[in-house]
Amino acid sequence: MLAKTIESIKVFYEEVRSELKKVTFPTKEETLGTTSVVLVLVSLATAYLWVIDVALSEIIAKILP
pLDDT tens-digit readout, 47-59: 999 999 999 999 9
Distance CA 14, CA 1 (A): 20
pLDDT recorded at residue 34: 98
Say what percent of the chain tops pLDDT 90.
91
Distance CA 5, CA 2 (A): 5
What is the tally of structural domains in the chain? 1
Host domain of residue 20: 2-63
Model confidence at 65, in pLDDT bands (50, 70, 90)?
Answer: confident
Q: Please, what is the average pLDDT of the chain?
A: 95
The verdict on pTM exceeding 0.75 is: no
